[in-house]
Amino acid sequence: MGEGVLSRIAASVGTPVYVYDAATIRRQYASLTRALSAAKHDIHYSVKANGNLAVLGVLRALGAGVDVVSAGELRRALRAGFTPAQIVFGGVGKTPAELEEAVRVGVRLINVESPREMGLLAEIAERLGRRVDVGIRVNPDVAVDTHPYTRTGELGMKFGIAYDAVPAVIREHRQAAQLRLVALGMHVGSQVRAADVYRRAAERLVQLVAQARRLGVETLQYLDVGGGLGVGYRGEPGLAPEAFAAAVVPAACDTGLLLLVEPGRYLVAQAGVLLTRCLYRKHSGGKEFAVVDAGMNDLIRPSLYGAEHDVAVIEPSSEAGDAERCIDVVGPVCETGDFLARDRPLRGVGPGALLAVYGAGAYGFVMSSNYNSRPRAAEVLVDGGCWGLVRERESLEDLMAAERTLEETDWRE
Ligand SMILES: *Cc1c(COP(=O)(O)O)cnc(C)c1O
């Protein structure tokens, strides 16, 4: 996206605003599709990375399916026009109501993450008289070198059914009249940049597929290898889709199953920019600060994961000199952990300057909150030479719409 369009959007919509580039999403989708071309595969975009309806629309037009982890994401996907057959439903803590909703909708696949959930799903399917296609999300127990909060494929984490416990779950449910075990799957973590993790985990899945078949399971159709492909936020290499493909395609070929992949970040991270304006400059204790109008409530990744995003000055401030300064870009939230970037050499940062925080398309807006009673940012989609508002900025009234004052409260016993 050119700086011209970013300036025009900031002037028209105000800041903070998330801006997404449809062309980048298409480019990422195309490179992953190309890399996986040796295997029959379907890409189910992980909605939790960025669930904006228009972003979902771009992916749907490309032929993607989706991976959802809540009834809210399921509703969102349907609203964006995905058919039930394009939806995979996963997640570690689905409520009975969410499972029932997924069964009623008739999604392609429900990935189960605990033995108890499998039992519950069998009951629901029985009660509704519906045949349900299920997958088991296996915890393959492979160590992943990523942030501790985004590791999911090791024992001692809350995700999936432990590798060794899977055969027992299969044995218990292989006779269930309404459940059809169609998939074995995994998701080893997020922002994973080493392909060998996928190779080792996929090999373990292949062994489980063989074991399931020995137990008499003849219904397997999919090998779901999850998402997690890492991207380079500051020019460093991410996981090349070719390396990812080389790690997982052999497993699909060995088993003869259709490969399902669930990338989120890889498809949208680099497509997004958070635009923010500088309010103030200050010096304190030998440090330089730029206080901007976006904070940790808008983009929590730096505070939560220590993530580093590239920051650039799109419009310099008339009040700032030419000299390059090492600056902390911080938000207005009353927390010391409220920063977007630290110790960055930047030029032209002063009141009124427009800054772009790059790589903000995944786990940006979706993780934003109203902390400090700050309305959530607007979202804009750029496509070719045009741009459109795809989510209005929240209003101050929106913030209190569901609340009651003490006087309005309806007291009960
Ligand atoms: C979060 C998640 C993904 C997507 O992860 P990314 O790192 O965004 O690719 C895929 N599958 C499951 C089950 C997830 O929970």
Are residues 346 and 288 in contact, defined by beta-carbon separation less than 8 angstroms? no
The catalytically annotated residue of 253, 326, 334, 386 is 334
Query: Which residues, 6+ apart, have CB-to-CB distance to 266 below 8 Å?
Result: 28, 32, 227, 229, 230, 231, 238, 239, 241
Please report the atom of ligand 1 found closest to the CA of residue 265: 8
Q: What tokens does 298 get?
A: 């808008």
Q: Name the β-bridge partners of 275.
A: 17, 356
Are residues 77 and 66 in contact, defined by beta-carbon separation less than 8 angstroms? yes
SS (H, E, C) 159-199: CCEEHHHHHHHHHHHCCCCCEEEEEEECCCECCECCHHHHH
According to the model, what pLDDT value does residue 264 have? 98
According to the model, what pLDDT value does residue 151 have? 72
Q: 407 in helix, strand or coil? A: coil
The per-residue DSSP string of 251-278 comes to: HHHHHTPEEEE--SHHHHGGGEEEEEEE
| Better pLDDT: 335 or 312 | 312
Are residues 271 and 24 in contact, defined by beta-carbon separation less than 8 angstroms? yes
**Does ligand 1 come within 6 angstroms of the Cβ of 90?**
yes
Nearest alpha-carbon partner for 219 in 260, 166, 174, 185: 174
**Does ligand 1 come within 6 angstroms of the Cβ of 32?**
no
According to the model, what pLDDT value does residue 404 have? 97
**Does ligand 1 come within 6 angstroms of the Cβ of 338?**
no
CA angle 184, 190, 193 (to 5 degrees): 105
Q: Name the β-bridge partners of 341.
A: 329
Please tell me what DSSP assigns to residue 200.
H
Map tokens 């490969």 to a residue: 259
Query: Using CA positions, which residue lies closest to atom 3 of ligand 1?
Result: 227
Q: 202 in helix, strand or coil? A: helix
Report how far ligand 1's centroid is from the alpha carbon of 217 (Å): 27
Q: What is the mean pLDDT of residues 120-143?
A: 94
> What percent of the chain has pLDDT above 90?
91
Per-residue pLDDT band at 17 (split at 50, 70, 90): very high
Catalytic, 334? Answer: yes
**Does ligand 1 come within 6 angstroms of the Cβ of 263?**
yes
According to the model, what pLDDT value does residue 131 have? 96
pTM over 0.75: yes
According to the model, what pLDDT value does residue 61 have? 98
Please report the atom of ligand 1 found closest to the CA of residue 191: 7
Residue of 187, 233, 259, 363 with the most ligand 1 atoms within 8 Å of its CB, for mutation: 187
According to the model, what pLDDT value does residue 141 have? 86
**Does ligand 1 come within 6 angstroms of the Cβ of 67?**
yes
Report how far ligand 1's centroid is from the alpha carbon of 238 (Å): 16
Please report the atom of ligand 1 found closest to the CA of residue 229: 9
CB atoms < 10 A from the CB of 328, how many? 17
Please tell me what DSSP assigns to residue 365.
G
| Better pLDDT: 177 or 266 | 266
**Does ligand 1 come within 6 angstroms of the Cβ of 226?**
yes
**Does ligand 1 come within 6 angstroms of the Cβ of 91?**
no
**Does ligand 1 come within 6 angstroms of the Cβ of 190?**
yes
Are residues 234 and 310 in contact, defined by beta-carbon separation less than 8 angstroms? yes
Please report the atom of ligand 1 found closest to the CA of residue 192: 7
pLDDT at 321 over 90: no
Please report the atom of ligand 1 found closest to the CA of residue 150: 7
In this structure, which amino acid lies at residue 272? G
Report how far ligand 1's centroid is from the alpha carbon of 344 (Å): 30
Are residues 4 and 220 in contact, defined by beta-carbon separation less than 8 angstroms? no
CA distance 360 to 395: 22
pLDDT digits (tens, 9 = 90+) for 350-397: 999 999 999 999 999 999 999 999 999 999 999 988 999 999 999 999
CA distance 296 to 377: 12
Are residues 306 and 340 in contact, defined by beta-carbon separation less than 8 angstroms? no
Give the chain's end-to-end CA distance (angstroms, integer).
57
Taking the CA atoms of the chain, what radius of gyration do you get in angstroms?
A: 23
Per-residue pLDDT band at 322 (split at 50, 70, 90): confident
Query: Which residues, 6+ apart, have CB-to-CB distance to 334 below 8 Å?
Result: 372
Report how far ligand 1's centroid is from the alpha carbon of 248 (Å): 16
| Average pLDDT score, the chain | 95
Map tokens 């992980």 to a residue: 46
